[in-house]
Structure 1
């Protein structure tokens, strides 16, 4: 039988709430402020550039075409 006076460990619950609050604060900053909008745009550009670079490397490795040429074509197609 479980002891009703025994304390329960709530550290997981408390830490989950704290992490959720931090994530919510970060998202609020990114979506509700002007600096956040600029940060989102910068992050988006970096992600697109990294994706193009990764795809160019894979295509260049498979076809033997120079990576810079593949990247130029990717830039043209993406726009």
Structure 2
């Protein structure tokens, strides 16, 4: 039989609600404000630049194509 006076542990629920609230506020700021739109554009450019660099490095390592030529090709594929 279960002890009716034993407290239940709700820390998982509290942490989950806190993470959900923080994510909601962050997404709301990113998508509903002008400053958030600017930040999204910056993140997008940085992400595309990083992907292009990593792809050029991989092409350089795995093929005989030099990194400069691979970078030109990956920049063409990953457009702004």
| Structure 2 residue runs without a partner (length 5+) | none
RMSD: 1.2
Q: TM-score, normalised by structure 2?
A: 0.89
Q: State the alpha-carbon separation in 1 of the partners of residues 77 and 18 from structure 2.
A: 43
Aligned pair count reads: 79
> Which consecutive residues of structure 1, in runs of 5 or more, have no partner in the other structure?
none
Change (3 A) 1:69 1:24: same
Q: Is the 8 A contact 2:52 2:78 kept in 1?
A: no
With over 3 angstroms needed to count, the CA separation of the structure-2 counterparts of 1:78 and 1:18, relative to structure 1, is closer
Runs of 4 or more, structure 1, over 6 Å off, are: none
Deviation (angstroms), 1:73: 2.0
2:66 maps to 66
